[in-house]
Amino acid sequence: MKLGHKIAMFYTTVTVCIITLVIIIFYFFTSHYIDKIFDSLLVEKVNLTAQKHWEKDEVDPRTYKIIEQKYDELLPNAEEILLNVDSLSFSKGKLYTYLTRKQVASLLAGSLIHFKNDNQLGVALYYPDNQGDFIAIVLSQNTYGERIHQHMLVLMILLLLFSSVLIYITGRVYSSRIIAPLHQILDELKRIRGNNLKMRLKTSSNKDELDQLTCTLNEMLDRLDSAFQSEKSFISNASHELNNPITAIQGECEITLLKERSVAEYQKALERIFAESKRISQLTRNLLFLSHQDEEFLKNSIESVSLDDILRQLADDVSRVNFISEKRPNNLFILKANPYLLKIAFQNIITNACKYSKDKVDVRLFMADEKIVVEVEDYGIGIPENEINKIFQSFYRATNTRAYSGNGIGLSLSFKIFSIYGGKIDIVSELNKYTKFSVTFSCNQLFHESF
């Protein structure tokens, strides 16, 4: 069932149920009111009957004439039963034909009794008079009321059926107008393919939920297009980077096999092949790291890692690195992370700093505003200002690094690892003077452990 039909059916069902409930309540109260009016007419009729038969000698002729006129006009087809309680022929048996024993007792006690006899309604009145004690009973069928009930019931059923059809048609028209923008969105989405991700959905000026949906879909398409272009660039660059060492290995093999070589020449060829294969291995490992999802990083073994120990070890491996750690008695800078991945991230930054600077490289570890900060500063070629925001892209290399070896993966890998563990990277650089990387970890990732 389509959405428009569902909306129309739901709208119709709910509305018809409400209308039906209102009709039932209206019919119930109207019927009760009609019956109540008829009961009041019966009461008035039984009183007029008693006055007509037993008040003639007690009222003036004019008043009695008015009583007779009302009596004749009110329920002329009503059946009357008059009983003389004082008469020797009086028997309660006749009363029991219409009333129960309890009702008879209440009647003789002076209460006005309403009852039903087959399809007739009746009222019994105990009327004490100067001529004696009497009982007046009036019976009549509420023909007019029943006709009103029937007409009301038929009219309400027809009204309900007509309303149901009208509501359904209205619901279909209205739902079609609501669903129309969705159909337009679906049609436009069907036209979007991998080769035209630049297409965007048309937005309206209604500022309603559908307009918000369109904007959200456009934002999603922006992200998909960006991810798709990034993926294409990644695959292209990865293929290029992998192809270079493979081509070099193949070329080296072909040249070496052209003729007989000395042992030294074979050894040099194998060394070049080994270097290129090592380059492929390192590149492949980095690509595998970049392809991992964040959840896969977090699933790796997490433990308390001392940044002081990691940075000191990395600094000891390279003589040009000057490591400075803030003195914190009885405390170490501890993070919850994978030590292997964290070491790779810092190693990439320190290696880059050493590669692009012939002078020393300063590595600092300290606390600032309850945050742990690691600074890696070199005094080399620097980074062009308009390229600082791009250097963390996979395979991107600054324009002034063409003379240096590398494949542009290290920093992107470090950025991803730091991001996973809550690190934020800031870069300050000036061409041909210095470059400073600052890695900051917030309080949520910071742990101080005493020893």
Q: How confident is the model at residue 234 (pLDDT cuts 50, 70, 90)?
A: low
| pLDDT value at residue 286 | 65
pLDDT of amino acid 215: 86
Averaged pLDDT, 396-417? 80
Return the domain boundaries, the chain: 3-146, 209-291, 294-450
Main-chain phi, psi angles of 56, to 5 degrees: -60, -40
Contacts of 108 (CB under 8 A, 6+ apart): 85, 126
Annotate 33-49 with three-state secondary structure: HHHHHHHHHHHHHHHHH
CA–CA dist 146, 95 (Å, integer): 27
Q: Domain 209-291 classified CATH 1.10.287.130?
A: yes
Q: What is the pLDDT of residues 34-71, one digit of tens each?
A: 989 999 999 999 999 998 888 887 888 898 899 889 98
Q: Name the CATH code of domain 294-450 (choices 3.10.520.10, 3.30.230.10, 3.30.565.10, 3.30.450.20).
A: 3.30.565.10
Distance in angstroms between the alpha carbons of the first and the last residue of the chain: 68
Q: What is the domain class of 3-146 according to CATH?
A: alpha beta
What is the per-residue pLDDT for 4?
74
Tens-digit pLDDT profile for residues 355-398: 888 889 999 999 888 889 999 999 999 999 888 888 887 777 78
Q: What is the pLDDT of residue 146?
A: 86
The pLDDT score that the predictor gives to residue 294 is 53
Per-residue pLDDT reduced to its tens digit, 70-118: 988 888 888 999 998 888 677 788 888 889 989 999 998 989 999 998 8
Q: If 0-12 CB within 10 Å is exposed, 13-18 middle and 19+ buried, where does residue 280 land?
A: middle
Side chain identity, residue 298: L
Q: What is the pLDDT of residue 88?
A: 64
For a pLDDT cut of 90, what percent of the chain falls above it? 23
pLDDT value at residue 300 = 61
What's residue 2's pLDDT?
74
pLDDT tens for each residue of 297-320 = 555 667 888 888 899 999 998 888
pLDDT of residue 238: 64
Phi then psi for 367, rounded to 5 degrees?
A: -105, 140
In the structure, what pLDDT confidence band is assigned to residue 25 with cuts at 50, 70 and 90? very high
Which of 231, 237, 235 minimizes the C-alpha distance to 194?
231
The 10s digit of each residue's pLDDT in 9-22 is 888 889 889 999 99
Residue 429 DSSP SS3: strand
Calpha distance 406→47 (Å, rounded):
117
Beta carbons within 10 angstroms of residue 121's beta carbon:
21
Average pLDDT over residues 403-418: 80
pLDDT tens readout for residues 172-213: 888 888 777 788 888 888 888 777 777 787 777 767 777 888
**Which helix (H) or strand (E) element contains residue 274?**
helix 263-291
Q: How far apart are CA 306 and CA 341, in angstroms?
A: 13
Contact partners, residue 383, CB within 8 Å, separation at least 6: 391, 398, 400, 427, 429, 431, 435
Average pLDDT, the chain: 83
